[in-house]
Amino acid sequence: MPIIVNLDVMMAKRKMSLNELSEKVGLTLANLSILKTGKAKAMRFSTLDAICQVLDCQPADILEYRAKV
């Protein structure tokens, strides 16, 4: 899929664990893990909003488009 999820990169920059992010965002560890590993097929805007608020970042810091070559 040409959409890359860089959630792990932003979490590392903010020195935040998956457990801590899960508590602050209000998502289960399983759902955040699916997002973090790039296995998610979709993401709600409300989820993206909550993650961006907690990590103090922009959506483009988390989602990246790479064209297939």
**What are the structural domain ranges in the chain?**
3-62
Q: What is the pLDDT of residues 2-38, one digit of tens each?
A: 899 999 999 999 999 999 999 999 999 999 999 999 8
Rounded mean pLDDT, 31-51: 93
Contact of 35 with 45, CB cutoff 8 Å: no
Structure tokens at 69: 């070559």
pLDDT exceeds cutoff 70 at 59: yes
CA–CA separation, 40 vs 43, rounded Å? 7
pLDDT computed for residue 1 by the predictor: 62
Task: Looking at the structure, give the CATH architecture of the domain made up of residues 3-62.
Answer: Orthogonal Bundle (1.10)
3-state secondary structure at position 4: strand
Rounded mean pLDDT, 33-54: 94
